[in-house]
Amino acid sequence: MKLNIALLAGDGIGPEVINEAVKVSDAIAKKFKHEITWTPALTGACAIDAVGVPYPDETHEICLAADAVLFGAIGHPKYDNDPTATVRPEQGLLLMRKKLGLFANVRPTFTFPSLIDNSPLKRERIEGTDLIFLRELTGGIYFGEKGRLDDGETAYDTCTYTRAEVKRLAKKGFELAMSRSKKLCCVDKANVMETSRLWRETVQAMEKDYPEVTVSYEFVDAVAMRLVQWPNSYDVLITENLFGDILTDEASVISGSMGLMPSASVGEHTSLYEPIHGSYPQATGLNIANPLATILSAAMMFEDAFGLKEEAEAIRAVVNSSLEQGIVTEDLVSKGNKAYKTSEVGDWLVANL
Ligand code: IPM
Ligand code: MN
């Protein structure tokens, strides 16, 4: 099979973790006789430095023409500490999501048997956790009207959702639930927010089309608490953009490291695969970042974008054996053991595929 993939390494540790994902993907392609064409493109702070905007038109054209996009990370501290900056790397990611119509962000949380004790949470609480967040990605407060009033003392961000936006996300949630344990949780703040009431009303009206799915409606604050207490009680969760952003960072604690969790963003045009972690600027260039979340995102890409399940399973299997054998970067290393470099982990995976 010919796989035409846009490669957006981005900022910080992005290029380092992407490099390892490319090595592993190329090894898979060789093993299973596929031909990958990687087309690199700029996004984030590096795009601002090069051409003045974080998501150049040329990058968008490359993404549109590709079968899938593999993405590293975005962000640079020089912008974080400058609230007056008018162009920011993160705008590139938001614009990319919007222009590619990537309205659903699929973020799984699972545990690795060999890493259970890496989580700060107790083994008996997290063992067997296997849940998926479907985060709405192109609406809500991220994209609503925002600004400052003339008095200079007042700022606002508005949260807006249409029924159609809720429906298309919820539809994916119901379908995903049907393919799993038929349990769906709608996370909202319907006791306070009007947009949440629209979410709840819309999802409730869809229940009749999926009679086998059991739907629960829970407030986001309660979910934040239950997620770390009883993660096993959840399976598929659907939620709006900001709640999903916050809860998925929280959920990553269950797996023991943010460096492990992959994600997919899907919708109208080319799907995008990326680790859920950020650009980890302090580690840039040190060859210490954990490449596994990006490598597991590549596995998601093989399976979901190309229907290559066996290839995806091969990646997951070799990642599992690396974890079992302690071939891990410093975020996962247990006391007294050696921490491997980013590139050494990639080399080991390639050698053991
Ligand atoms: C994420 C990130 C982004 C978000 C930032 C970088 C804009 O935190 O993908 O979760 O808030 O969506
Ligand atoms: Mn986030």
Whether 340 is a known active-site residue: answer no
Residue 189 annotated in active site:
yes
Identify the residue whose C-alpha is closest to ligand 1 atom 6. Answer: 90
Q: For position 84, what pLDDT does the model report?
A: 85
Q: How high is the mean pLDDT of the chain?
A: 96
Mutation to probe ligand 1, out of 98, 105, 142, 245 (largest number of atoms < 8 A from CB): 245
Domain 1-119+256-353 has CATH 3.40.50.2020: no
What string of H, E and C letters represents the secondary structure of the chain? CEEEEEEEEECCCHHHHHHHHHHHHHHHHHHHCCEEEEEECCCCHHHHHHHCCCCCHHHHHHHHHCCEEEEEECCCHHHHCCCCCCCCHHHHHHHHHHHCCCCEEEEEEECCHHHHHHCCCCHHHHCCCEEEEEEECCCHHHCCCEEECCCCCCEEECCCCCHHHHHHHHHHHHHHHHCCCCEEEEEECCCCCHHHHHHHHHHHHHHHHCCCCEEEEEEHHHHHHHHHHCHHHCCEEEECHHHHHHHHHHHHHHHCCHHHCEEEEECCCCCEEEECCCCCHHHCCCCCCCCHHHHHHHHHHHHHHHCCHHHHHHHHHHHHHHHHCCCCCCCCCCCCCCCCCHHHHHHHHHHHC
* Å from CA of 245 to ligand 2 middle: 5
Whether 100 lines ligand 1, by a CB cut-off of 6 Å, is no
Per-residue pLDDT for 227 more than 90?
Answer: yes
Ligand 1 atom closest to the CA of 241, numbered from 1: 12
What per-residue confidence (pLDDT) applies to 11?
Answer: 96
Can you tell me the mean pLDDT for 31-44? 98
Tell me, using a 6 A CB cutoff, whether residue 296 lines ligand 1: no
* Calpha distance 166→151 (Å, rounded): 35
- Of all protein residues, whose CA lies closest to atom 12 belonging to ligand 1? 245
Q: Is the shortest distance between the CB of 74 and ligand 1 below 6 Å?
A: yes
φ and ψ at residue 43, rounded to 5 degrees: -155, 155
- 344: Cα separation from own chain's centroid: 24
- Nearest Cα neighbor of 187 from 199, 204, 172 is 199
Counting atoms of ligand 1 from 1, which one is nearest the CA of 74? Answer: 6
Q: Beta partners for 106?
A: 134, 264
Mean pLDDT of 311-330: 96
Ligand 1 atom nearest the C-alpha of 245 is 10
Q: Do the two domains 1-119+256-353 and 120-253 of this chain adopt the same fold?
A: yes
Q: Shortest CA distance to 331 belongs to which of 13, 106, 10, 9?
A: 13
176-208 pLDDT, tens digit per residue, is: 999 999 999 999 999 999 999 999 999 999 999
Residues 242-301 have pLDDT tens digits of 999 999 999 999 998 888 999 999 999 999 999 999 999 999 999 999 999 999 999 999
pLDDT tens-digit readout, 101-127: 999 999 999 999 889 988 899 999 999
Active-site residue flag, 221: yes
Q: In percent, how much of the chain has pLDDT > 90?
A: 93
Answering whether pTM is above 0.75, one says yes
Q: Which of 67, 235, 249, 304 is catalytic?
A: 249
Q: Is 151 a catalytic residue?
A: no
Does pLDDT of 63 surpass 90? yes
Q: Can you tell me the mean pLDDT for 218-231?
A: 97
Q: Please, which residues have CB less than 5 A from ligand 2, an ion?
A: 245
Tell me the pLDDT tens digit for each residue of 116-167.
Answer: 988 899 999 999 999 999 999 999 999 999 999 999 999 999 999 999 999 9
Does 11 contact ligand 1 (Cβ within 6 A)? no
CA dist 325 and 340 (Å) reads: 12
Residue where the block lists tokens 């606002």: 156
Rounded Cα–Cα distance for residues 39 and 55 (Å)? 15
Nearest CA to ligand 1 atom 8: 245
Is 172 annotated in the active site?
A: no
Q: Is the pLDDT assigned to residue 82 strictly greater than 90?
A: no
Give distance in angstroms: CA of 147 to centre of ligand 2.
Answer: 22
Q: How far apart are CA 164 and CA 158, in angstroms?
A: 18
Distance between Cα 61 and ligand 2 center (Å):
25
Q: Which fold has domain 120-253?
A: Isopropylmalate Dehydrogenase (3.40.718)
Q: Closest Cα to atom 7, ligand 1: which residue?
A: 90
Q: Is 90 in the pocket of ligand 1 (CB under 6 A)?
A: yes
Domain boundaries, the chain: 1-119+256-353, 120-253
